[in-house]
Structure 1
Amino acid sequence: TLCFDLALDYRTATRVALAASETARPGSVKAAVGLFQALGKNVSVIDDIPGLIVARTVAMLVDFAADALGRCVAEAHDIDTAMRKGVNYPRGPLEWGGELGPEWVRRVLENLHAAYPTGRYAPSPLLVRRAAARRDLL
């Protein structure tokens, strides 16, 4: 099995991160690297860790934003604007969470929480409710 990490826009991404399972054949990894290089992408082969890198980071950011929204710390638009303007993110975390879907974010976090049961990756209550109701975060 080979996985590739989340990208904001796969068409315009200049780099792709690939993770191979322990049972992946070296020839398969080489072929996958070659495929992405033929598409003009730089390729990083990373360890197969839960959540990979970008997917884990984005899921956590979306969850923190959902938690702030659920606690009435700020309105959704204000959270996204603060992250775009203050941290220079290309999208606000709630906007990106809306594109990925709260079910996807919850699933990533629950899988991380199963792998690392410290509570760090436990999804926020608002995210869980919105995912169960199949409702967007915005």
Structure 2
Amino acid sequence: DVVYFDLALDYRKATRIALSASQDTAPRTLSEAVGLFQALGKDVSVIGDCPGMIVARTVARIVDLAHDAVAKGVATEEDIDTAMRLGVNYPLGPFEWSRRLGTNWSYDLLDELHVRDPSGRYAPSLALYRHAYATEKREGTP
């Protein structure tokens, strides 16, 4: 039985949590997960089996597009973070999210989604791939 919960900037401060259960998860397990989050004072939205969830998938794509923009010389990482915070009113810029979640988190999520849906919709950009590869080399990860 598997129940996933979506990404939140700060789970302690989040007022709503999205949950998704795999198709094989028993209804009782999902009910218990809902009850757990409600006991923690959270409103709960149960969504269908949704690979990558909603917020996590969206943040990963934004991080990917930001890396692509930097690689193309559109702006610096700092400029993009500032623009997303001040212009779009996001709580964090894409590079701030990336540092908080781990440098390869977005690449890993998008790569897994691309394996599940090879339409190209979630294919990580070459810039994000290069960033992930360079990070692995620096950290000595195989």
Q: Is TM-score (shorter-chain normalized) higher than 0.5?
A: yes
CA distance in 1, matches of 2:101, 2:126: 18
Indicate conservation of the 8 Å contact 1:102/1:127, yes or no.
Answer: no
Q: Which residue is equivalent to 2:94? A: 93
Q: Partner amino acid for 1:133? A: A
Q: Which amino acid aligns with 1:125?
A: L
What is the deviation of 1:97? 1.2
TM-score normalised to structure 1 length: 0.93
User: What corresponds to 1:55 in structure 2?
Assistant: 56
Do 1:51 and 1:112's aligned partners in 2 also have CA atoms closer than 8 Å?
A: yes
Equivalent residues, number: 136
**RMSD over aligned Cα, in angstroms?**
1.4
Gap runs ≥5 in structure 2: 137-142
Aligned 1:36-115 pairs, distance under 5 A: 36-115=37-116
| Contact 1:59–1:109 (8 Å) recurs in 2 | yes
What's the % identity of the aligned pairs?
59
Cα offsets for 1:52-75 (capped at 9, x unmatched): 100110000000001001111101
What is the TM-score of this pair, normalised by structure 2?
A: 0.90
Give the corresponding residue for 1:16: 17
Q: What is the alpha-carbon distance in structure 2 between the residues aligned to residue 19 and residue 67 of structure 1? A: 30
Contact 1:50 1:111 in 2 (8 A): no
Q: Distance in 1 between matches of 2:27 and 2:117?
A: 28
Q: Is the 8 A contact 1:6 1:55 kept in 2?
A: yes
Which residue of the partner structure matches residue 121 of structure 1?
122
117-126 or 33-42: bigger deviation: 117-126
How far apart are the structure 2 equivalents of 1:4 and 1:67? 28
Kept after mapping to 2: 8 A contact 1:65/1:93? yes
1:81 positional shift:
0.6
Name 1:35's counterpart in structure 2: 36
Q: Which moved more, 1:99-108 or 1:84-93?
A: 99-108
Task: Tell me the CA shift for residue 116 of structure 1.
Answer: 1.9
Aligned counterparts of 2:121 and 2:87: Cα–Cα separation in 1: 24
2:134 aligns with: 133
8 Å CA contact 1:14–1:40 kept in 2: the answer is yes
- Structure 1: which 5+ runs fail to align? none
Q: d(CA) in 2 for partners of 1:6 and 1:14?
A: 13
